[in-house]
Amino acid sequence: MKQNIVGREYECERLDDCMLSNQAQLIIIYGRRRIGKTFLINEYFDHHFAFKITGAYNQSRKVQLHSFAAELTRKTGIKWKDPENWIQAFEDLRAYLEKSEPMEKQVVFFDEMPWLDSHKSNFLPAFEWFWNDWGSTRNNLVFIVCGSASSWLDEKFSENRGGLFNRQTCRLYLQPFTLHETELFLQSKNIFWSRYEIAECYMIMGGIPFYLNALSERYSLTQNIDRLFFQPRGEFWDEFDHLYKTLFSNSRLHLQIAEALSAKPGGLSRQEICQCCKISDNGALTKALHNLNSSGFIQAARFYGKKAKDTRYRLSDHYSVFYFRFVRDFYGKDAHFWSNSIDLPTRRFWSGLAFESLCMEHIPQIKRKLGILGVLSEESVWRTRGNEETGTRGAQIDLLIDRRDRVINLCEIKFSIGEFTIDQAYDLALRNKISVFRQETKSRKSLQLIMITTYGLKRNMYSGLVQNQVTLDDLFQP
């Protein structure tokens, strides 16, 4: 039921449009594992489907076909024989659906379809035939395809040049919750934390509904993290292994890449990934990078003034970053690790980087606070190593907003437990950033320094250099 769905307003509106259409609908639902794809469809349709099947991970065609027949048996009350192949299975589905009222909407849901397409199963050709020969002609048919393996859905549907080329009528890519949606979700669970705590929770789990749903109102944030991640056999003790293995057929390569990127918060180029992982620069790497990117685990970081070939990849999945930074090495050693690590330098270092990632995921909220939401812009990062011969110091900018109105916002991002104070040393560092950026890029655009902090900037003799501020509360806006 829709009242149980937090956020997802756009997705629900698009599903409304599909249900009101007088044409056959083929709906593709994308999104990383644990993002809530199945929950959205189940709740939107209140679990009422003409037919539903869920693919089983790493199971044979015979097992999948048996599940198919079992679902038909449950729906009709009549024993159906296991189909010999997928052609026969879709013939059976067609026969069953044709007996229904032609004016009534028939919603068919194939969840985790990539798992149905097992090795040598010939599933996809059978589905192509079913849809093109019959399904697409049924004006009352709403066929929903869902899967966590976004790369499979891209390849088989979006990039298909065969029988499924341009056949989908609706594509929905579920993104992680924003901070605003995360706050609403937690409140729906009777969890009322400060926005600082919610931000820290987001920096650990991301806006992933499955992870957020495991939090308990009976415990503080710190206690929840210890309970879920660090206590022996805690709820997420083996989550990381399942996460990658169930998504990628060659999970070893994907894990190698993720681990290499976890050690380099600034990101790695394609060549640097090859060197760190000791792998060849070939098609397998291209496919792995595409898979990780389409599934939301990595991002291709754009550097200001650099060409596409200079793209650097960074590990963007909050949960994966947290796992590599803390869980992998400390799980099982201290059941209260997170409670006992509050003053660790590694935790402070992590929180700064994680807050930068959080800000990168809330660009619209930042632009809204700056009053430039309607201004076309490109977001990137920038850094230079400096030059001893010319005396130029190295510098970097956490977030750069290059605006069409010939203004560049140079954003500094700081995570702190109170108001942030600019002292004399940091004032000189900020002035150096601006000067070096102007010198290195030769940009003639107007430069504006923006501070993005948790609780704002403390006014003093050095704060006048900052032309605008964005606080944590601003990032919580819808």
The domains located in the chain, with CATH, are 2-173 (3.40.50.300), 179-237+331-357 (no CATH), 241-322 (1.10.10.10), 362-475 (3.40.1350.10)
Asked if 256 and 277 touch (Cβ cutoff 8 Å), the reply is: yes
Percentages of the chain per state (helix, strand, coil), in multiples of 5: 45, 15, 35
Provide the token pair at 40. 């959205």
Q: Which residue has the higher pLDDT, 249 or 261?
A: 261
| pLDDT score at 388 | 65
Please give the distance of CA 15 from its chain centroid, rounded to a whole number. Answer: 21
Residue 33: pLDDT band by 50, 70, 90 thresholds?
confident
Q: Both tokens of residue 73?
A: 């048996």
Secondary structure letter of residue 154 according to DSSP: I
H-helix segments, 295-336? 318-322, 328-330
Asked if residues 274 and 286 have their Cβ atoms less than 8 Å apart, the reply is no
pLDDT reading at 391 higher than 90: no
pTM for this entry: 0.91
* Cα–Cα distances in angstroms (integers) from residue 430 to residues 124, 137, 193, 287, 434, in the given order: 56, 63, 34, 40, 6
Query: pLDDT tens digit string along 54-101?
Result: 999 889 999 999 999 999 999 999 999 999 999 999 999 999 999 877
Going by pLDDT thresholds of 50, 70 and 90, the confidence category of residue 35 is very high
For residues 182 and 180, what is the distance between their CA atoms, to the nearest angstrom?
Answer: 5
Whether the per-residue pLDDT at 309 is higher than 70: the answer is no
Give the residue-averaged pLDDT of 16-36: 93
Long-range contacts of 75-82 (CB under 8 A, 24+ apart): 75/50, 75/51
Query: Which letter does DSSP use for residue 207 in this model?
Result: S
Q: With 90 as the cut, is the pLDDT of residue 104 above it?
A: no
DSSP state of 137: G
Within 48-132, strands assigned E span 51-54, 106-111
Whole-angstrom distance, CA of residue 229 vs CA of residue 330: 10
Distance from C-alpha of 194 to C-alpha of 455, rounded to nearest angstrom: 12
Alpha helices (H) along 328-423: 328-330, 337-340, 345-360, 363-370
Q: Is the pLDDT of residue 256 over 90?
A: yes
Per-residue pLDDT tens digits for 123-161: 999 999 999 999 999 999 999 999 888 778 888 887 766
Task: Check if the beta carbon of residue 269 is closer than 8 Å to that of residue 312.
Answer: yes
Contacts of 111 (CB under 8 A, 6+ apart): 37, 38, 41, 52, 53, 54, 55, 146, 147
Whether 260 and 273 have beta carbons less than 8 Å apart is answered as yes
CA distance 24 to 41: 18
Residue 371's region, left for phi above 0, alpha for psi from -120 to 50, else beta, is: left
In the predicted structure, residue 434 carries a pLDDT above the cut 70 = yes
Q: How confident is the model at residue 389 (pLDDT cuts 50, 70, 90)?
A: low
**Overall average pLDDT of the 378-382 stretch:** 92
Is the separation of the CB atoms in 33 and 25 below 8 Å? no
